[in-house]
Chain A
Amino acid sequence: MASLAAIQRLHGWAVQLTAPPLARAIGGVGIALFIFGLFLAATGRNPLSAYAALYSSTLGSRTGLSEVGVFMVPFILTGLAAAVPAKVGLINVGGEGQLYLGAWAATGVALYSGLSSPWLMLPAMIAAGFIGGAIWAGVALLLRVWRNLNEVISTLLLNFVAVLFVNIFVFGPWKSSGGFGYPYTPDFSAAATLPALFGTRLHLGLAIALAAALVCYLVLGRTRWGYNMRAVGGNVEAARRQGIPVARYLAVAMLVGGGLAGLAGMSEVAGIQHHLRPGISSDFGYLGFLASWLAGHNPLALVGAAFLLAVIFVGGDVLQITANLPSAAIYILIGLMLFLVLGLKKTSREGA
């Protein structure tokens, strides 16, 4: 089979390219940019000017840089939502749905709690967002524990349910009467909005996300809990025989993961939108999941992966204008990066 021979030759090159993590990430991203540049050139666009526009619209300006920070928030938090359960061997693909539930719960508090001080309101919204996301992850957890239904499938399907669940409210009882017929909830009070930073769209959510990443890094890497979690993820039977309460670790990891994705939803509505509407997430949950894989489930590396995705995401809007690319075309670039960074990994063991 000629095609098989060709694949094996490609495979040989890929093996030679296998490299340490950071070099692999840089190499993978570089090759992806090169291939995407070829695609741009083939469709009659100048890749150099497109990449120049991408740079100046993101890292090259104050506004651009702050926008990158804005998009890092959901990527970091939904990435952690995948990374924390991954440590115990659970695969949470439900960040998208958990984000929606978190946004929904935080909105409920913002609109109906009647709290007037931001010192009470914001913590209440954070708690609600976390619990909302955790409950949605908990549904998948219960299905796993009671019915042995794999969490990959349940979390994926629950994403679609969550989006529709939010729609029930924003098109129904929560719909603002002053929204010109748009399916928006009323705007939040000032007490229910996360403070903006540096006079940009950047908001306190970034600090929350970075703090969450740091805490996860320390807990997972430096504490007995983190050690036990990795033991459970490595070999569940061995962990059980060491006397580690396996079920408790599995449950807590999944619920915390869902809660972190819920915080992403809370910070979207409280930091950016200031109301709830359909489509608050542009696939953030899925992209965060993939960012976590890019980062090898390391919370600090995840911040870097989220930064990269955010640059592409913000730059994609500019490419839409300057290079006349539909905004979804950046998924081609993100997909290429993932293929390369995942594929350039050493292949000694499966799925590590």
Chain B
Amino acid sequence: MNTGLLVLAGALTGAVGPGISVLYATYGEVITEKAGRINLGIEGSMLMGACFGFAATVETGNVLVGVLAGALAGMALSLIHAYLVVFRNTNQLATGLAVTLFGAGVTAYAGRGYVGSSIGGLNPVAIPLLSELPMLGKALFRQDLLAYAAYALGPLLWAFLRYTRWGLSLRAVGENTSVAFAAGRNPARWQVAAIGAGGLLAGLGGAQLSLALTHSWTDGMTAGRGFIAVALVIFGMWSPVRAMIGAFLFGGAIGLQLQLQTIGAPISPFILDMFPYVITLAVLAVWTGAALRSMPEGLKGVLKGTI
């Protein structure tokens, strides 16, 4: 009983750290999908962010340069997707996967000299007083700067999408490009911007992963986190604030896995590794029905398929 509580407390404390990188990617995908496009290439953008963020930090010794490089690398990759789907009308799912594959190749090539390098990285900064709060204080307020930025970004993005002219334009394009066009907006420009912003945020998430969480670079280290972000967008009903719940749920699955591993629970480590994927799927299976009603109209062609 006591062990159970300790494990849960540990999982909660450990939920925030691993959730942040996915949270950034989820924010990015929310923006992309609000403009009526889907980008499976954010898995590749995360890899780009992790690789180039890490490499730039090693080369310059400055972690902020690393964060910036990671974000820009993620955006650069997503612009390939943007060009192909917006201007060439290619299939979004196939293009996104091709973009992810391409990103995996680029990072394997560019990052091979950096496997095993060590960096100072982004380290936790405890916020006075708040970090002293029992349980949640340590979990939420003893994190790196990118984590604090992520807390703020959720409500900010929500307000941006809901209350600003730009947010309105973005959503209008996502609902119906013809109507948005008739209202004097250039859908192509908005969609390219949204996909680019999505890649930028996914790149930030990747940079957070390699600079703050693991302090290392390895090939394919994102392990499907970008795809999980695509799933969490649905769970979060295309809302940046609800996306936070999803990302911390994912983080909690990883936290739980690590806790059970630490106490030596008699479960195969591979079953524990399944947790994040299976829990994401299970939560989606319960939620999707209701969530789909919030789907931007422009996505229905791709995501709803034939049924």
What would 19 A/B residue contacts be, using CB atoms closer than 8 Å? Answer: A7-B87, A143-B281, A145-B307, A149-B284, A149-B288, A150-B303, A152-B303, A153-B230, A156-B40, A161-B278, A233-B306, A332-B105, A338-B95, A338-B102, A342-B84, A343-B83, A343-B84, A350-B91, A351-B90
Taking residues whose C-beta sits less than 8 angstroms from the other chain, chain B's interface range is 35 or more
A157 and B228 contacting across the interface, CB-CB below 8 Å:
yes
Given contacts A154-B281, A326-B108, A345-B88, contact A171 B270 (CB under 8 A): yes
B263: Cβ under 8 A from any A Cβ: no
Task: Report the separation of the CA atoms of residues A161 and B270 in the bound assembly, to the nearest whole angstrom.
Answer: 9
| Interface membership of B302, Cβ < 8 A | yes
- Of the stretches B55-63, B142-150, B161-169, B219-227, the one at the interface is B219-227
Interchain CB contact (< 8 A) of B268 among A154, A168, A250: A168
The chain A residues found within 8 Å of chain B, CB to CB, are 1, 4, 7-8, 10-11, 14, 88-91, 93, 143-154, 156-161, 164-165, 167-168, 171-172, 232-233, 236, 250, 283, 286-287, 289-290, 293, 325-326, 328-336, 338-339, 342-345, 347, 349-352
Tell me which residues across on chain B come within 8 A of A89, comparing CB atoms: 305-306
CB distance from A157 to the nearest CB of B (A): 5
Q: Is the CB of A165 within 8 A of B227?
A: no
Which of B40, B98, B109, B292 is close to A325, meaning CB atoms less than 8 Å apart? B109
Contacts of B192 in A (CB 8 A): 4, 7
Q: Which of A143, A146, A157, A329 has the most CB of B within 10 A?
A: A157
Question: Given the complex, which residues of A lie within 8 Å of B16, measured CB to CB?
Answer: none
Per a CB cutoff under 8 Å, which of A8, A150, A335 touches B101? A335
User: Are B230 and A350 in contact, CB atoms less than 8 angstroms apart?
Assistant: no
Closest chain B residue, CB of each to CB of A337: B98
Residue in A144, A289, A342 whose Cβ sees the most chain B Cβ within 10 Å = A342
Docked-complex contact A91 and B93, CB < 8 angstroms: yes
**Interchain nearest-CB distance for A122 vs B (Å):** 29
A147: which B residues are within 8 A, CB to CB?
Answer: 284-286, 288-289
CA A239 to CA B106, docked complex, whole Å: 44
Residues of A within 8 A of B95 (CB): 338-339, 342
Closest Cβ of chain B to A32, distance in Å, is 11
Whether A250 contacts B234 in the complex (CB less than 8 A), given A289-B97, A329-B108, comes out as no
- Annotate B99-125 by CB proximity to A: 1 below 8 A, 0 otherwise: 101111110110010000000000000
Q: Which residues of B contact A339 (CB under 8 A)?
A: 80, 84, 95, 98, 102
Nearest chain B residue, comparing its CB with the CB of A344: B88
Contact indicator A328/B93 (Cβ below 8 Å):
no
* Inter-chain contact B270/A338, CB cutoff 8 Å: no
Do residues A351 and B88 form an inter-chain contact, with CB atoms below 8 A?
A: no
> Nearest chain B CB to A81's CB is how many angstroms away?
14
Give, as a whole number of angstroms, the nearest-CB distance from B22 to chain A.
13
Residues of the B chain whose Cβ atoms lie less than 8 Å from the Cβ of A10: 83
Min CB distance, B145 to chain A, in Å?
30
Residue ID in chain B nearest A164 by CB atoms: B270
Docked Cα-Cα span, A144 to B304, in Å, equals 10
Check if A168 sits within 8 Å of B271, measured CB to CB: yes
Q: Nearest Cβ distance between residue B217 and chain A, in whole angstroms?
A: 13
Give min CB distance, B177 to chain A, whole Å.
11
Cβ contact of B87, chosen from A11, A157, A289, A333, cutoff 8 A? A11
